[in-house]
Amino acid sequence: MKRIVALLATCATAVGLTTLLGPQPAAAAAGCEVDYTVTSQWQGGFQAGVKVTNLGDPVTGWTLKFSLPDSGQKLVQGWNAAWSQSGSTVSAAGTDWNRTLATGASTDLGFVGSFTGSNPKPSAFTLNGVACTGSVEEPPPNPDPGTGTPVGVNGQLHVCGVNLCNQYNRPIQLRGMSTHGIQWFSKCYNNAALDALAKDWKSDLLRIAMYVQENGYETDPAGFTSRVNSLVDMAEARGMYALIDFHTLTPGDPNYNLDRAKTFFASVAARNAAKKNVVYEIANEPNGVSWTAIKSYAEQVIPVIRAADPDAVIIVGTRGWSSLGVSDGSNETEVVNNPVNATNIMYAFHFYAASHKDNYRATVSRAASKLPLFVTEFGTVSATGDGTMDRSSTTAWLDLLDQLKISYANWTYSDANESSAAFKPGTCDGTDYSGSGVLSESGALLKSRISTADSFPTS
Ligand code: IDC
């Protein structure tokens, strides 16, 4: 893997001009850093990751240009920008969701190229015509880390009307990532990975997917309970919310795990009651089971949590793999007409962008004015967790969720060998979770969406 950081001199001529003409009005500060990584190379072809950081004033609309030094080098296909090549110059223009870059903000792009002779690294990187000059300065340490983080700003959450509200009783949207099954991918949830999630991705939440079956909780209740608690602490230390997901999947009837759920939630709710960062998700994806059966399960598990942790938000899964019933030929009315008998609760909605499109979006649009919804899991790909990423459907979904202030967690913050994973396979065997070379196409898209400013209301 080859990696360079473009470091070029700037403003050499500005000094001369000032001397000749006297002081000039301050121009918009400009500058950028490019981190270019060849992530793989094969006979005649290569793939590269390009992380662009804006070091100047905020920009809305940008074009990155660079030069391919060898005449045999050609752009084949790029992502996360509109790519083109003219002569030896390659251009990448920001798209809808990453065209605004705040000062210090980054976006991850990438492309596949071909070459005939050698494959020298590109040169002369510019952003909006200004040479990319160099190193990103570390921001000064936050004087009060407690207040600037998502949990520091929002505090204890509660449901108000159909919204998730913060300590100022104002609606907020949390944007973050879900782990993969912690029985399989615990190596991905170390300090470095969670630092990257909090600081680099600016994630508001970590969903902790604790499978019950498939070598999960049922095989070692004490061990999994303690692993979940430790991830809650790791999220808390970084100011992120922790969504404790009792990841039932097969069998689909959550009542199969009712006793386990009561034991598990009694324990984690007692242990974490004083924390402000915990949200409970009591059944991942009920399937092959009626809403009445799910409601009955919820009305038995919720009191167990409330007895230990009275003020936490609790999320209830819905019929048809948490599709509000749509994947089972039903819809949200079965919940609207027969809601769970409890307060301070929300309902889960899940989607996989390549499989679930307009009719699912229409359901969410309708249901959002009647039910508090939380997208505790979604993928940019098909419901298998794999296959081609559907960028346009994902963008339509995320725009809708932003507009409705519906919180979300993306499946998965892991290096699983499937396209829903944010990192390339093998990433969690290393120490780099921040560079441009480690992200999958889905990871690059989600990081761009999640890392934009939250602007949580504080009064
Ligand atoms: C998938 C994982 C995959 C695993 C499978 C079975 O990505 O590696 O083999 O589960 O455990 C869901 C589920 C979630 C699925 C995901 C993708 O909540 O557990 O993960 N998905 O299939 N619902 C819809 C899709």
Instruction: Give the domains, in start order, of the chain with CATH numbers.
Output: 3-137 (2.60.40.290), 150-450 (3.20.20.80)
pTM (two decimals) = 0.74
The pLDDT of residue 136 = 55
Check whether 147 has a pLDDT greater than 90.
no
| Centroid of ligand 1 to alpha carbon of 249 (angstroms) | 8
| Centroid of ligand 1 to alpha carbon of 307 (angstroms) | 32
The pLDDT of residue 96 = 82
For ligand 1, say whether the CB of 441 is within 6 Å of any of its atoms.
no
Tokens (6 digits) for 264: 């598990």
Active site residue 33: no
Q: CA-based angle 392:396:400, to the nearest 5? A: 170
The pLDDT of residue 343 = 97
**What does the pLDDT look like over 176-191, one tens digit per residue?**
999 999 999 999 999 9
Mean of the per-residue pLDDT values of the chain: 91
For ligand 1, say whether the CB of 352 is within 6 Å of any of its atoms.
yes
| Residue to probe by mutation, ligand 1, list 182, 284, 377, most atoms within 8 Å of CB | 377
Chain length of the chain: 459
Check whether 285 has a pLDDT greater than 60.
yes
Q: 123-127 and 63-67: which strand pairing?
A: antiparallel
The pLDDT of residue 5 = 54
Residue type, 348: A
Question: Backbone dihedral region of 22: left (phi > 0), alpha (psi from -120 to 50 degrees) or beta?
Answer: left
The pLDDT of residue 370 = 97
Element (H, E) at 341: none
For ligand 1, say whether the CB of 377 is within 6 Å of any of its atoms.
yes
The pLDDT of residue 144 = 45
Give the atom of ligand 1 at the shortest distance from the alpha carbon of 379.
25
Atom 20 in ligand 1: residue holding the nearest Cα: 385
Which 3 state secondary structure label does DSSP give 176?
strand
**What does the pLDDT look like over 34-89, one tens digit per residue?**
988 887 778 888 888 899 999 888 999 999 999 999 999 999 988 889 999 999 99
Q: CA-based angle 226:263:409, to the nearest 5? A: 60
Please count the CA atoms within 13 angstroms of the CA of 83 that sit on its side-chain side. 16
| Centroid of ligand 1 to alpha carbon of 247 (angstroms) | 10
221 contact partners, CB below 8 Å, separation of at least 6: 260, 263, 264
The pLDDT of residue 22 = 46
Tokens (6 digits) for 453: 């400013």
**What does the pLDDT look like over 353-363, one tens digit per residue?**
999 999 999 99
Atom 24 in ligand 1: residue holding the nearest Cα: 383
Which 3 state secondary structure label does DSSP give 148?
helix
Atom 12 in ligand 1: residue holding the nearest Cα: 383
Confidence bin at 117 (pLDDT 50/70/90): confident
Give the atom of ligand 1 at the shortest distance from the alpha carbon of 385.
17
Atom 11 in ligand 1: residue holding the nearest Cα: 214
186 contact partners, CB below 8 Å, separation of at least 6: 227
Which residue in 285, 332, 334, 441 is the catalytic one?
285
Q: Looking at 117-257, which runs of residues are DSSP E strands?
A: 123-127, 130-131, 158-160, 163-165, 175-178, 205-211, 241-247
For ligand 1, say whether the CB of 411 is within 6 Å of any of its atoms.
yes
| Centroid of ligand 1 to alpha carbon of 420 (angstroms) | 10
| Centroid of ligand 1 to alpha carbon of 18 (angstroms) | 61
For ligand 1, say whether the CB of 334 is within 6 Å of any of its atoms.
no
For ligand 1, say whether the CB of 46 is within 6 Å of any of its atoms.
no
Active site residue 377: yes
For ligand 1, say whether the CB of 418 is within 6 Å of any of its atoms.
yes
Give the atom of ligand 1 at the shortest distance from the alpha carbon of 214.
11
| Centroid of ligand 1 to alpha carbon of 386 (angstroms) | 9
Measured distance CA(136)–CA(331) in Å, rounded: 49
Check whether 224 has a pLDDT greater than 50.
yes
The pLDDT of residue 133 = 76
